[in-house]
Amino acid sequence: MKLSIRLFVLFFCFFLNLSSLYANIRVGTLLFYPPFVSSSGDGFNIDFMQTICRRLQEKCEFIPMDSNRLFLALDKKQIDIAIGVISISQNSSSKYIFSLPYLVSKGQFLISNNGSIQTIQDLNGKSVGVIRGEQDSADEFYRFLITNFNGLFEVKQFDDIEDLITALNQGDIAAAYIHKSAAIYWQRNSNGQLITLGPANVLSEGLTIIALPENTLLIQRINQKIQEMEKDSTFLNLYKTYFGLL
């Protein structure tokens, strides 16, 4: 009888540990923002996060949404962590916690290749588009433009990259201001219709994974895996796959 009870307790403890080990981590991601997230559901952010989940020995559920919904989903506890084009300086409030930065955050102008704009000063009096930030508020791309080019052009916000690129192609805006890697992606995949303008600008301490303070332990575990990936060249290989020599 005692042996049966001990076996039951051991089995129960094993089951609890196994359940905890493979508990689903709900990961909020962008719907579409190549090369970070592509239309086929892969991309740098997805592969990066999947690698982390495997190393954590956790099951991750990816929940795609517009960038301005990520913070709201965290607040409502619909997701556990969020990964997008989120920077450490985007929200310094103690309301959120951040992982170690995994990529430099750089902004880049993208324009139509029609010869009408040669310099940033040629944007004078025109409109420049950015992706809408946290819960309909401004993000680091918007703030950079307002801080450094206030009055030179109007800044318009869009819900997603598709609307932004469509507006650029249709001439509704003169330029888009997005992450450098995304700008180069569109330049390479637009059949010569889109080109970058001017140098890229460093915007913050870097891109990061974000969570609520109650998931501090999870972020600490993620940080350990980020450091491991940097040491064993996994991150470098992943970077080369999606960004090449960007």
In the chain, domain spans:
24-103+206-244, 105-204
Query: pTM for the complete prediction?
Result: 0.86
pLDDT tens per residue across span 142-171: 999 999 999 999 999 999 999 999 999 999
What superfamily would CATH give domain 24-103+206-244?
Answer: Periplasmic binding protein-like II (3.40.190.10)
Matching fold, domains 24-103+206-244 and 105-204: yes
Burial of 52 (0-12, 13-18, 19+ CB in 10 A): buried
Please report, rounded to a whole number, the percentage of residues in the chain having pLDDT higher than 70: 86
- The CATH number corresponding to 105-204 among 3.40.190.10, 1.10.10.1400, 3.10.50.40, 3.30.1120.80 equals 3.40.190.10
**DSSP output for 110-174:** EEESSSS--SGGGGTTSEEEEE--GGGS--HHHHHHHHHHTTTSEEEEESSHHHHHHHHHTTSSS
Rounded to a whole number of angstroms, the CA Rg of the chain reads: 21
Evaluated on CA atoms 102, 104, 107, 113, the torsion sign reads negative
